[in-house]
Amino acid sequence: SEDQAMLKAAVERCVAAGGDAGAGDLGHRRAARATAAGFSAASWARLAESGVLAMPVSAAHGGMADDRMALLLAMEAVGRALVPEPVLDVAVIAGTLLDVAGSPAQQETVLVPMLVGRLMVSLAHAERAARFDLGHVETSLSQRGNVMTIDGAKTAVMAGGAADRFIVSARCNAGICFWLVRADAPGVERRSYRLADGSVAAELMLRGVTVTHADRLAGGLDSLDRVVAVARAAAAAEMLGVMTLLFDATLDYVKTRVQFGKPIGSFQVIQHRMADAYVLVEQARSQVVRAGLAPSADFPRAAAGAKAFVAEAALSVAHTAVQLHGGMGITDELVIGHGLKRLRVLALTFGDVAAAIDDYRRAA
Amino acid sequence: SEDQAMLKAAVERCVAAGGDAGAGDLGHRRAARATAAGFSAASWARLAESGVLAMPVSAAHGGMADDRMALLLAMEAVGRALVPEPVLDVAVIAGTLLDVAGSPAQQETVLVPMLVGRLMVSLAHAERAARFDLGHVETSLSQRGNVMTIDGAKTAVMAGGAADRFIVSARCNAGICFWLVRADAPGVERRSYRLADGSVAAELMLRGVTVTHADRLAGGLDSLDRVVAVARAAAAAEMLGVMTLLFDATLDYVKTRVQFGKPIGSFQVIQHRMADAYVLVEQARSQVVRAGLAPSADFPRAAAGAKAFVAEAALSVAHTAVQLHGGMGITDELVIGHGLKRLRVLALTFGDVAAAIDDYRRAA
Amino acid sequence: MDMTLTAAELAFRDDVRGFLAASLPQHLRDGARGTPSVFVEPDIGLEWQRALHAKGWLAYQWPTDCGGTGWTPVQRYLFEKECALADAPALSVLGLKLVGPVIARFGTPEQKARFLDRILTAEDLWCQGYSEPGAGSDLASLKTRAVRDGDRYIVNGGKIWTTHAHYADWMFCLARTDPDVKPQAGISFLLLNMRQPGVTVRPIIGMAGDHEVNQVFLDDAVALVENRIGDEGQGWTIAKYLLENERGGSCTAPSLLVRIERLGALAAAQSGGVAEDAGFTRRLARLQMEAEALELTELRLLGELAQGRPPGPQTSLIKLVASTMMQQIDELTLDVLGNDGLQLAGERPLYGNECPEPIGSKAAQMAMPTYLNNRAWTIFGGSNEVQKTIIARTVLGL
Amino acid sequence: MDMTLTAAELAFRDDVRGFLAASLPQHLRDGARGTPSVFVEPDIGLEWQRALHAKGWLAYQWPTDCGGTGWTPVQRYLFEKECALADAPALSVLGLKLVGPVIARFGTPEQKARFLDRILTAEDLWCQGYSEPGAGSDLASLKTRAVRDGDRYIVNGGKIWTTHAHYADWMFCLARTDPDVKPQAGISFLLLNMRQPGVTVRPIIGMAGDHEVNQVFLDDAVALVENRIGDEGQGWTIAKYLLENERGGSCTAPSLLVRIERLGALAAAQSGGVAEDAGFTRRLARLQMEAEALELTELRLLGELAQGRPPGPQTSLIKLVASTMMQQIDELTLDVLGNDGLQLAGERPLYGNECPEPIGSKAAQMAMPTYLNNRAWTIFGGSNEVQKTIIARTVLGL
């Protein structure tokens, strides 16, 4: 729709203001990655001002959660610009979870500050023993008298290096619940580490971390399903953006790079390989549109399918982009390598391709 | 070795005498397939005289079972000539089973006549409910007084259309045993049907078929393992022969077929596709050699691996051959289609690719 | 994509379902399921065509002023999806989808009056004379000559891969009317009566044993000048229009999705746990994801057509994906069926009383001939290699 | 392929095992496992090279009269297999495998005396000056000029993708000594001292953050005529010999098989049942079958080498299969590791005291940088596209 087009343009302007990787300007990305947090606070503030961070949440909090297609268009723009800021991990994932499962007080004190960029929140759910089983949580809550404490270990806490708050999943009598935990709370040991895309994730050791009833999110594991669906669709859209960036860059390159006396794009093998990549881009776009159009009941399945399909298609196109760029493709100097590394991280959003395919299948 | 080269040449002469499909002469194949049996009795007799049928069995019966490489070379020649006669199903499979598990009397009255081409024997082991689980046999033997009868149903009895005797697997107290059953025995209902390669297989309904102790093979299910290994290696070798036939025919074709003013083999995409096919042929040959060289203990695993690998490689090359031959490739007029159809049948020898891979894995 | 349907579209879909339930007899459904090819034999094909013509739905790919239904792209999509679900026999594309639209677009009023209605009534069956022994993918090099002789052309040469030439009353063909200009420029689009001495048809039997295509020899065959479509030398333009039409404007995803769904059911009906094997389930899921993507890609293209844009090179993408997927489904079907999938009956047709009892299941009996015949999908109508080159040149500008 | 070993070969294998057990210290094994590339840093590489030299096993790829071991192909194969099993650091191919054999084959007695021994003693480290910014796969178009000036050449131009140029004392390079003949004919093979003002090295950082390759600027750099290998204009012939040597004559299968075996163990160590997933187990089994086939393909080729035939275009097959498989193993490793596989530490080296504590496992820490660096396998040393063209032209005659 027209609003969506305008919105996309707005997002593009906003993300471009932070250096347009799409135009091959990696300066912003490099500078952002060089920081301890792995992203630029200034750009994060700009994203907050532009309303991008609020897009995933409901209108009550200034968002447009009902217009799923708008979010996917925005995430595509985020991917196409190789935005280093944690839009997916913080705004989409933590934002949606707080929006659907947070208490009014939590939304007031945590979500709202997060949306304006004053507070960083990360979901701490994954555990190594779970692999990609979202229902497998060994971190547990124990109660002595009226003191509640959380013990356990979390891994792959995305954007966790700069988080002020964690949303920690823990097993209790009621099942699996989510708890807001301050990063500086006693008993929280954070170990930050770099991921392939230069972002900073964290592992958490939780030893007798005290929480109160006020820290508990209203919604339980079931509310995670909604988050997973939105996150997978958003990840698929961001991957689509990265994929089109790499495809276009490669198309330009093969038209200009001369070997054996002519542009390599005039070689039939290169032409057919680009045609194959083009087909993947078009098909991936259709999958993202499907996820955008799917009725709520079918959305989790559509999102799982879109994420699995786009992840495989995008990685295939990225490998083609590296190969056709030759030596330049394997350096850190082009968007190609940065895009490939970002895709690797996005492809594991709430499970790998096999996990998404199995969810897609079972939901059918 | 030199003997092996001589032997291979002998087999080639012998099979070529029945019309050399390798040279594109499908006359013999067509004529043979037109018969009710699906093969030429004259060629079968010639194969018997030349000693090809005896190759799989032990020296005691005039064979050379110890020289596995010789058998594989011969089977490669059989494949390359697209021999329509059931060398694999009768000589290799039934022959090996009778050789390793048959009683002296059975070898005298059944194996020897079979080797000289006077008697056709087929293994009736597969059952639909088993899929490819070789240990799954529902056909059962029951005993009343001293009368033993077999009841059950068999499918995919290869070359079963012309069989005079069946080797029927049946479950009894002792486990799974093999029994020699006359095709014209009361209670045996044979339904013949054509397979993709034009051969004639059969389904059997067995209703109270009477057998005696003299009909029972000495060896049980364990003796089938040896047969399976030899059959898989032999099938891999025959597939290699078919594969090289199709590859060479396609290489000739792309050098001579002119489109857009030049031989299609001068187009880079065709060149690279042929290079890919060449790699598959060379790798497939290495797998067959491995199976030939493997020490006995490792042979079942090597044979499973060779068969799985060659089956996938050969079908890939066959699809390339069809595609590059264009319209001609999908007709019944070239060796291409005949080769593809033969490969489809060979690829399921004692299980499909997945079954062979799983056996290969578990044997590791 | 029920997700996108309006109330009116849902109502239309129910109309179609109702009509199919009432007017598509079981023996036609059996005939369709017993046909290992996209081309059905006239015995079942024409009966179904007449039923659709009576309903007024036959010419849905034609402009309204030639008897078209004026359906929206979504309606065409829904119609074809419901037909696939109901096992309706495929309509012969030769007259309805290939030459019909060409006559409607380029034909004179006389030609329209002379030919179009007889296509709908099936009084005329058609075949396509494009490929020649020396000119497969390379159409521009065709050798068949048409020499002007008063109000007629004398045509010499030959055509190959001519589907259903053994049934056809007419052939639309490309012939060289001017050997002295550059290849594409000297070609004209002629309608040629098959019922004449100068035309000889030789059957070509396919790998599966089916007689579907032929070689056609033209020795002093006659085509009337009044049956030339467009001007002399305009043949190449018309041929390209026809090829893009052939590739575009109808939906391949629905039938792919139907096949994928049935393959899942077929696997569940097999012993040995193939339906639970992760190797199988993920291959099937990947096919379904790809087909669902194609469904939307096709709807996006139909949307453009609705806005009056010609099919164009985009259709190469659909041809490429659909033909590749079709073959992947065929192969996966064989893998699922195991030994039963090896059967290949020699009898034809594989429906009616002459059809032999299948081994295991009807699906098993159809799997191998379908797989073998469908190898043609990536070859005819422009091979995959040609499609990729079209995409690279015209879409990507390489 | 223990299956084919004679008693003598088994004894030799035990010798090698004994030597590795005694002379390959743990810190070198750790260094090798902590190197996400085929090129190891000199700190560990040279220590191992000296140990092998002391044992007399270093020059096993050289002719005996130049210090070669005279091993049979099977011995070379066994040696490399045992080294791979023991995590021995990879030997730098630049001196030992690339320029060494060239000097041994084409060099003058003076040149052999001057350079060969210092390669073995590691007094001289080498780099390769083939590719140029404008000439990657298309070597013949190289622009670097060498102008004769008395007993020296003045070299101007530049090279790129120059591995370990930042460590090298010498560069063997291709330069155009005659611009007036057809491209291949005007090229000479020069040895150029890196320690001179005319040579400038610019680091190029790879996707994974490793500094392995460089761009080298040559501004009036000097190469002595006495350090030209072969005649003027013979450079192309020598370059081809070197490239075929690079691709052939050593075994890639052993290290592939070691990686595949370890990947199976790694999967078994993961939670979540990936090791039992049919999708994983069959992918791994297929890789193993392919590697076992490659092992025999390599032995077949080594057998031909032993009979004195040159490596030839057959080596393109091995390069093609091995590089593709290496990348498939990298990708499957990432799939197995899940989230742990996403870590990419910025610190280098990934061994010793500066190496950060890995997340999950050491294998997980190495997986991503290895995957990223190994994308170069299908690009450098002749891209896969170039290898396929070589096979098509020279092996298949297309």
Which residues, in sequence order, are bridge partners of residue B259?
B262
Is omega for the bond preceding D310 within 30 degrees of 0, making it cis? Answer: no
Distance CA(D152)–CA(D154), nearest Å, equals 7
Which residues of chain A have a CB within 8 Å of the CB of C389? 268, 271-272, 275
Does B132 reach chain A within 8 Å, measured CB to CB?
A: no
Token reading at D54: 């002391």
Which residue does chain D place closest to A335, by CA atoms? D207
Task: Find the range with the poorest average confidence among B4-8, B64-68, B195-199, C157-161.
Answer: B4-8
Q: What is the pLDDT of residue B28?
A: 87
- In the predicted model, is pLDDT for residue A14 greater than 80? no
Option in D136, D344, D379 nearest A323 (CB): D379
Q: Which two tokens stand for residue B285?
A: 């040959």
Minimal CA separation from C384 to chain B, in Å: 9
Both tokens assigned to C77: 């999509």
C211 touches chain A (CB under 8 A): no
List the alpha helices (DSSP H) in chain B: 2-16, 27-34, 41-49, 68-80, 95-101, 104-106, 112-115, 221-256, 268-293, 299-324, 335-346, 353-363
Are residues B348 and C134, on separate chains, in Cβ contact within 8 Å?
no
pLDDT confidence band for B23 (50 / 70 / 90): low
Facing A132 at nearest CB: one of D160, D338, D375:
D338
The rounded distance, in Å, linking the Cα atoms of B262 and A237 is: 44
The Cα A248–Cα A252 span in angstroms is 6
Residue C220 belongs to what H/E stretch? strand C211-224
Q: Is B268 on the interface with A (CB under 8 A)?
A: yes
Subunits with 3+ C-beta pairs closer than 8 A to B: A, C, D
Q: Is the pLDDT of residue B9 over 90?
A: no
Question: Would you tell me how many other CB atoms lie within 10 Å of the CB of residue D118?
Answer: 16
Does D391 contact B278 at a Cβ distance shorter than 8 Å?
yes
The answer to whether D376 faces chain A, any CB pair under 8 Å, is: yes
Q: What torsion, rounded to 10 degrees, do the Cα atoms B276, B278, B281, B287 define?
A: -70
The single residue listed with the structure tokens 């050791």 is: A205
| Chain C CB contacts of B348 below 8 Å | 338-339, 342
* Beta-carbon separation of D398 and B309 below 8 A: no
Judging contacts by C-beta atoms under 8 Å, the chain C residues touching residue A286 are 292-297, 300
Residues on chain A touching D346 (C-beta within 8 angstroms): 194
Instruction: Give catalytic residue positions of D.
Output: 246
Please count the helices (runs of H) and the strands (runs of E) in chain A: 12, 10
Beta bridge partners of C191: C172
Q: What is the DSSP letter of A331?
A: B
Whole-Å CA distances, D329 to A52, C44, D62, D326, D368: 39, 52, 31, 5, 12
In this structure, which amino acid lies at residue B350?
F
- For the segment C229-255, the average pLDDT, to the nearest whole number, is 86
> In chain D, which residue's Cα lies nearest the Cα of C277?
D278
Please check the confidence at residue C219 and state whether its pLDDT lies above 60: yes
CA neighbours within 13 Å on the CB side: how many for A49?
Answer: 10
Could you read off the pLDDT of C340-359 as tens digits, one per residue?
999 999 999 999 998 999 99
What pLDDT, in 10s, does the model give residues B271-326? 999 999 999 999 999 999 999 999 999 999 999 999 999 999 999 999 999 999 99
pLDDT tens digits, one per residue of A188-200: 999 999 999 999 9
| Interchain CB distance below 8 Å, A286 and C282 | no
**Per-residue confidence (pLDDT) for residue A2, from 0 to 100:** 65
Question: Which of A266, A269, A274 should be substituted to probe chain B, the one whose Cβ sees the most B Cβ atoms within 10 Å?
Answer: A269
Provide mean pLDDT across the span B15-21: 65
pLDDT tens-digit profile, chain D (398 residues): 445 688 999 999 999 999 999 999 999 999 999 999 889 999 999 999 999 999 999 999 888 888 899 998 889 889 999 999 999 999 988 999 999 999 999 999 999 999 999 999 999 999 999 999 988 778 888 999 999 999 999 999 999 999 999 999 999 999 999 999 988 889 999 999 999 999 999 999 999 999 999 999 999 999 999 999 999 999 999 998 888 777 666 689 999 999 999 999 999 999 999 999 999 999 999 999 999 999 999 888 887 777 777 777 778 999 999 999 999 999 999 999 999 999 999 999 999 998 999 999 999 999 999 999 999 999 998 899 999 999 999 999 99
**Token output for A291:** 């996820």
pLDDT higher at A8 or B353: B353
**Interface contact B361-D281, CB threshold 8 A:** yes
- Cβ of B309 within 8 Å of Cβ of D395? The answer is no
List all residues 6 or more positions away from B301 whose beta carbon is below 8 Å from its beta carbon: B294, B359, B360, B363, B364
Q: What is the DSSP string of C311-342?
A: --THHHHHHHHHHHHHHHHHHHHHHHHGGGGG
Residue B1's pLDDT is 61
Q: Which of C244, C246, C295, C298 is catalytic?
A: C246
> Which of A130, A195, A323 is nearest residue D344 as measured by Cβ atoms?
A195
The CA-atom distances, in angstroms, between B266 and each of B232, B269, C139 are 38, 9, 18
Q: Which two tokens stand for residue D384?
A: 């896969």
Sorted by sequence, the CB contacts under 8 Å of residue B167 that are 6+ apart come out as: B94, B97, B98, B121, B122, B123, B124, B125, B178, B179, B180, B181, B217
The DSSP symbol for D89 reads: P
C357 contact partners, CB below 8 Å, separation of at least 6: none
Closest CA to C155 of C134, C173, C128: C173
Helix H or strand E segment including A100:
helix A95-101
Q: Positive or negative, the Cα torsion across B36, B42, B43, B44? A: positive
Report the Cα B244 to chain-centroid distance in Å: 17
Give the best residue of B255, B257, B286, B301 to mutate against chain D (max D CB count within 10 A). Answer: B286
Residue with tokens 């790809």: C290
Task: Give the CB-side neighbour count of residue C203, counting CA atoms within 13 A.
Answer: 9
Residues B42-94: pLDDT tens digits? 999 999 998 899 999 999 998 999 899 999 999 999 999 999 999 999 999 99
For residue A114, give the amino acid letter: M
**Interface residue B260 vs chain A (CB under 8 A):** no
Q: Is C261 a catalytic residue?
A: no
Burial class, A256, CB count within 10 angstroms (exposed 0-12 / middle 13-18 / buried 19+): exposed
Strand A121-124, strand A165-172: pairing: parallel
Q: Closest by alpha carbon to A290, among A337, A229, A362?
A: A229
D338 near A CB under 8 A: yes
Tokens at residue C309, please?
Answer: 């844009």
Task: Name chain C contacts of D278, Cβ cutoff 8 Å.
Answer: 277-279
* Least trusted range by pLDDT, from A221-225, B2-6, D154-158, D357-361: B2-6
Question: In this predicted model, what pLDDT tens digit does every residue of B130-187 receive, in sequence order?
Answer: 999 999 999 999 999 889 999 999 999 999 999 999 999 999 988 999 999 999 999 9
How big is the CA angle at A83 (ends A80 and A88), to the nearest 5 degrees? Answer: 95
Report whether pLDDT(A115) > 60.
yes
Measure the CA–CA gap between D76 and D93, rounded to whole angstroms: 15
Mark out chain D residues that contact chain C at CB-CB < 8 A. 277-279, 282
- Six token digits for residue D68: 């070669």
C297 touching A (Cβ < 8 Å): yes
C395: chain A residues, CB-CB within 8 Å:
275, 278
Instruction: Give every CB contact of residue A89 below 8 A, 6+ residues apart in sequence.
Output: A122, A123, A158, A159, A199
Pair type for strands A140-144 and A175-182: unpaired
Kind of pairing between the strands at A216-220 and A175-182: antiparallel
Pairwise CB contact (< 8 Å): B279 & D320: yes
| D389/B275 touch (CB, cutoff 8 Å), yes or no | yes
Strands C170-176 and C126-129: parallel
Tokens of C78: 């829904």
Is A341 in Cβ contact with D207 (below 8 Å)?
yes
Q: Do A267 and B268 touch (CB under 8 A)?
A: yes
Contact B88, B349 (CB under 8 A): yes
pLDDT in tens, D26-54: 999 999 999 998 899 999 999 999 999 99
Contact check, Cβ <8 Å, C290/A286: no
Q: Is the pLDDT of residue C1 over 80?
A: no
pLDDT tens digits, C257-307: 999 999 999 999 999 999 999 999 999 999 999 999 999 998 888 777 777
Question: Over 90: is that where the pLDDT of C134 sits?
Answer: no
Lookup: tokens for C50: 């007449």
Q: Confirm or reject contact between D279 and chain B (CB < 8 A).
A: no
Res D381: pLDDT: 84
- d(CA C329, CA B68) in angstroms, rounded, equals 38
Pairwise CB contact (< 8 Å): B327 & C213 = yes
Distance CA D215, CA D203 (A): 6
Which residues, 6+ apart, have CB-to-CB distance to A201 below 8 Å?
A156, A157, A158, A159, A160, A161, A192, A193, A194, A195, D342, D343
**Measured distance CA(A159)–CA(A39) in Å, rounded:** 9
Residue A6 has pLDDT above 80, yes or no: no
Tokens read off for B338: 């005949």
- Cα–Cα distance, D79 to D65 (Å, whole number): 20
**C-alpha distance from C280 to closest chain B C-alpha (Å):** 10
CB atoms within 10 A of CB C313: 18
Which of C141, C274, C338 shows the shortest C-beta gap to B348? Answer: C338
ipTM summary value: 0.95
Interchain proximity D277–C278, CB inside 8 Å = yes
**For the residues C7-26, what does the mean pLDDT come to?**
96
Phi then psi for residue B219, to 5 deg, are -85, 150
Kindly state whether A266 is in contact with chain B, defined as any CB-CB distance less than 8 angstroms. Answer: no
Tell me, what's the pLDDT at C289?
97
Quick check: A23 pLDDT over 80?
no
Search chain C and give the residue with CA nearest B352. Answer: C338
The minimal CB distance from A133 to the residues D131, D272, D360 is found for D272
Average pLDDT, chain C: 93
Helix (H/G/I), strand (E/B), else coil: D172: strand
Q: C-alpha angle C240/C245/C250, rounded to 5°? A: 160
CA-based nearest residue in chain D for residue B283: D293
Render pLDDT for C178-208 as a digit per residue (tens, 0 to 9). Answer: 999 988 889 999 999 999 999 999 999 999 9
* pLDDT tens readout for residues A267-323: 999 999 999 999 999 999 999 999 999 999 999 999 999 999 999 999 999 999 999
What's the gap in Å between the CA of C282 and the closest CA on chain A? 7
Q: Which residue of D lies nearest to B254 if distances are taken between CA atoms?
A: D398
Mean pLDDT of A9-22: 67
CB of C77 closer than 8 Å to CB of C299:
yes
The more confident residue out of A261 and B316 is: B316
Report yes or no: B268 and B254 within 8 Å, Cβ to Cβ.
no
Q: What mean pLDDT is predicted for residues C198-223?
A: 97
Closest chain D CA to residue B264: D398
CA torsion angle D13 D19 D25 D28 (round to 10): -50
Which of C4, C282, C289 is most worth mutating to test chain A (most A CB atoms within 10 A of its CB)? Answer: C289
Inter-chain CB pairs, B–D, below 8 Å = 94
What's residue A21's pLDDT?
63
